[in-house]
Every structure is written in structure tokens, then in C-alpha cells.
Structure 1
Amino acid sequence: MTSWRRTALSLGALLLATACTSAPDHRTAATAPPAPAEEPAESPSPPLAVRSLTSAEVQYGWWNWAAGSTEDRSPVLDRSGRWCAEGQHENIWYLAGTTGGGAVERTCTVPVGLPVLFPLVTKFGEAADCETFMDTAKGSAMLDGAPLAAETLGATRIKLFGPADNPFGAEPTGENTWSCGLWVRMDPPAPGSHELTIRGQASAPAITVAVDYHLRVAAPVPTGAV
């Protein structure tokens, strides 16, 4: 797969493996194992300690979430926030950037108590190209007008999976690749409404990301509630 023509992406702006040949199933990183049939269902898994995740865990987890939806339901291609909950997991909340196609404004409800993870700019492909990309990558994020700390995660081996017709050409059987980018890890935001701005850019290849999120942090509505 010619990844570099499909990839520069941010979150914009816009995963649990220590090596691509031994990457664990992403589902084990995001959800607790099911309870035995003869026992009552367990409570939801506690939130991930997002600040302790390794580079491989951050990038494997986010990229497999981003590539885990078809194009018509992709949170990355979404321009309104309609699909922001697509494919999310019970102990971390991912936010998407864009593929660089202009500014986007999204509205999204985030479950209370979950940490949030997103890139300012990111891409996958060859390790050497990743180094070139990171030489020009820059960006920023602000929550309610306050700057958020961003970190550089260099070329890291991951294994990328995706259903047919996902936006990034990932294979259902998985594909070994490298990922890099500028990333933001947020502790669980306080309940209520928040404004999040994400900006990112790079010149190899040229990408500009601009996403404004209107976030509502609230407890999930119980199933069957009226």
C-alpha cells in the first residue's frame, strides 16, 4: 500500500503494540475482558492512565480507531461531529483531526470521567519519511482558551487494521507500518461544555489542520431511559 499518498492526518487538528509483529489486538487495550457467562457482568473498565501510555500504545490505539470505520461513518472525514462516537471504547475517548481539507467545526458529547487523546498532526508510512515529516510538523491545542501541552512521538512501529472501505486503506488482516506525530493527552475534562481548538501543519507532505470542537462532557444516558 502506498501509505504516504493516503496518510498525512491530524487531528487534527484529527496503537497497543511494542513491535508490529507482536501488536496485541486493539480491543484488549480499550475494553475489559467479558465476564464469564455464569457470573454477573462486570462494571466498565476504569479510565486508562493516559499519561503513562507508551508511544506504541498511543499511536496503535488512535490509528486503529481512526481506521476502524468505513468512509461514510469516519470520525476523521466527519465535518459536523455526527460520527465522533463511532468505534469509541469504554476507557478512553479519541478525537479526530482531518485529512487537511480545510477548517472543520464539530459538536461532540464525551462521557464524563474519560481521558481524551488526539494528534495535532500525524501520519503513517515508512520510518525515514516519518523523520522528514516530523522536521516540519508543528501545532497547538487550546481548551477553553488555555493551551494544552503537546508532545512529539517519533517513528514507532505499529500494526494497522481496518474494515473494507476505511479512509486509510488499512487491511482487515493488518499491515505493519510506522507512525509519528504531535500528540495531546488530556486528563478527564470536567463535566459541562468546553471549547477545544486544534491546529496543526507540516510541509512534507503539505498538510494544514484546523478543527474547532464544541464538547459536552456528560454522563451517558442509561439504555432504555426515556
Structure 2
Amino acid sequence: MTTFRRWCGLWLGLLALAPALAGTPAPLPADAQVDGLRYAQLTAAWWQWALTVPVQPYLDPDGRFCGEGQRGSVWFLAGTAGGAPVNRRCEVPEGKYLLLPIINMYHASRYVENGQVLPMKACTDVRERAALNNDHLQSAEVLVDGARLPGIRQYRVASGCFDLHPETASQPGQVRTLAASDGYWLLLPPLPKGRHTISVGANYGKPGAAYGRMVQSFAYELWIGGKPRWAFAPAASASRRAEPAG
């Protein structure tokens, strides 16, 4: 009987660790909405989140800060600022959509002329600068639970202009800071409960530009619905003014 119980426990553990057997959900299409927000609005919200939490999420060394500032139906993941690959482990509540940056840039500017903010001039400038390196994507690959996701280039998203710090924009004496993001993102539907892995590799190919040769490489071990007490496997390895991140 003891042996039988051990085998049952092992079998249940294998089921929890192999959610990919049920199929990997495809990314939401480019015109999808979650809570009335499209990709462009969600990527703007991602940057507003990334620059207000105590530790910028693309600098998180191992996932210890992955829950900072998370709210709503969409859970934000993060890439890196370029350089060495990063492996992170993160527990995510069930039912959350995942916004996954592949490689992207943002640019922000404060424009004042004769005491007046010039939002249209600022918007044109920041959008062009944010797009600069994304016009030269060289490669991009995303694996979810070991399965390669096709058609990454169709998920380029330009946010349009937004207030980088909307919580202070209306305060007296504050100059409006306009920002824009441009890059490649995926919005994944809620994953089944259990362990999942996401690996991302991408790079630009624009010589001579700031971050024009940026390389993005990171991996997540995600525990949807929390990590069981017996689970302790290590994360798998992954194959401003313009600011990189992902």
C-alpha cells in the first residue's frame, strides 16, 4: 500500500509539472482587448508600471520582485536592459492574462516653449525615437512550455503617446512628460494551473544607433496558482533617452 501511494503521488506530481500536454494557448490577436484595453494601451500601462515600482522590473535578477505593483486582469512580465541572459521564477495568480515583452524601446521628453507645453511636437518626436531600433529587428523567438510560437513579427505594437507619470501630471508646477513605446509584445491568455516556462531571445540589427545591437535573452519559470511545497526545481536557461527593456 505504501508503494502504491508513492506511485500515485509521483503521478500527480508529473501531471502538475506537464501542463503543455493540454496544449499551449496561442497569443491573443493584435486587435484583442482585455478589460477594454488593447495591446497599445497595455504596453503604455506596462511602462507606467515599470517606472513607478521600487525596482525596475527589467533589472530584476531572479524574479523576486515579480509581484510588485501588479493589479487587474493582466500580469506584466519583463525582459532585460540587454546583456547577459536572466532566469526568473514567479508565482502568478490563476486567471491572469500575461503581457510578455519580446524586445522594445521607449522614449520620453518634456517639451516647454515660452512656458507652454507642446504636446504635438513632443508626440511626433518620441514616437519616431521609440521606433528607431524596432525598424531593424533581426531575430526573435519565443518558447512557451517548449513550443515555439510562430509569427512574432506580426506583434509589433506602437503605443502612441501617453503621460509617463499620470499620477503627477495634473499637479501644479508639473510639466507634462510625454512618452511612447514601440516594440514586439505578446498577450497570452490565462495559462492552466501548474508550472510553465517561457523563454525569449531577440536582437536588433541597426549599427551605430544607441541600443541598435541590443540582445534580449531571458526565461521565466511560472507557477500559476502558486508553487506546491514539494516543487523546488531550478528555472530553465534561456537559449533613457531611448530606453531598452522588454
Fold shared per TM-score above 0.5: yes
Report the structure number with the largest CA radius of gyration: 2
Q: How does 1:58-97 map to 2 (within 5 A)?
A: 58-70=42-54, 73-97=55-79
How many angstroms apart in 2 are the aligned matches of 1:199 and 1:52?
30
Bigger mean CA deviation after superposition, 203-212 or 107-116? 203-212
Task: Kindly state the Cα deviation for residue 219 of structure 1 after the two structures are TM-superposed.
Answer: 5.7
Task: Kindly state the Cα deviation for residue 90 of structure 1 after the two structures are TM-superposed.
Answer: 3.1
**TM-score, length-scaled by structure 1:** 0.64
Task: Kindly state the Cα deviation for residue 124 of structure 1 after the two structures are TM-superposed.
Answer: 1.1
How many angstroms apart in 2 are the aligned matches of 1:51 and 1:86?
21
1:218 maps onto 2:225 in alignment: yes
- Conserved? CA contact 2:33–2:39, under 8 Å: no
The one of 186, 189, 192 aligned to 1:190: 192
- Which residue does 2:161 correspond to in 1? 157
Q: Secondary structure at the match of 1:76?
A: helix
Q: CA 1:174/1:140 → structure 2, altered by over 3 Å: closer, same or farther?
A: farther
> Partner amino acid for 1:74?
Q
Q: Secondary structure at the match of 2:59?
A: coil
> Partner amino acid for 2:43?
Q
- Conserved? CA contact 2:35–2:73, under 8 Å: no
**Deviations 1:22-57 (Å, cap 9, x if unpaired)?**
xxxxxxxxxxxxxxxxxxxxxxxxxx9439733431
Task: Kindly state the Cα deviation for residue 176 of structure 1 after the two structures are TM-superposed.
Answer: 0.5
Unaligned runs of 5+ in 1: 1-47, 164-171, 221-226
Q: How does 1:41-56 map to 2 (within 5 A)?
A: 49-50=33-34, 53-56=37-40
Unaligned runs of 5+ in 2: 1-31, 108-125, 168-173, 228-246
1:57 maps onto 2:64 in alignment: no
Task: Kindly state the Cα deviation for residue 154 of structure 1 after the two structures are TM-superposed.
Answer: 2.9
How many angstroms apart in 1 are the aligned matches of 2:60 and 2:100?
15
- Conserved? CA contact 1:158–1:179, under 8 Å: no
Task: Kindly state the Cα deviation for residue 89 of structure 1 after the two structures are TM-superposed.
Answer: 0.6
Q: CA 1:162/1:75 → structure 2, altered by over 3 Å: closer, same or farther?
A: farther
Identity %: 28
- Conserved? CA contact 1:196–1:214, under 8 Å: yes
Q: CA 1:112/1:49 → structure 2, altered by over 3 Å: closer, same or farther?
A: farther
- Conserved? CA contact 2:40–2:158, under 8 Å: no
1:115 maps onto 2:119 in alignment: no
Task: Say how many residue pairs are matched.
Answer: 164
Q: CA 1:135/1:51 → structure 2, altered by over 3 Å: closer, same or farther?
A: farther
Which has the larger share of helix? 2
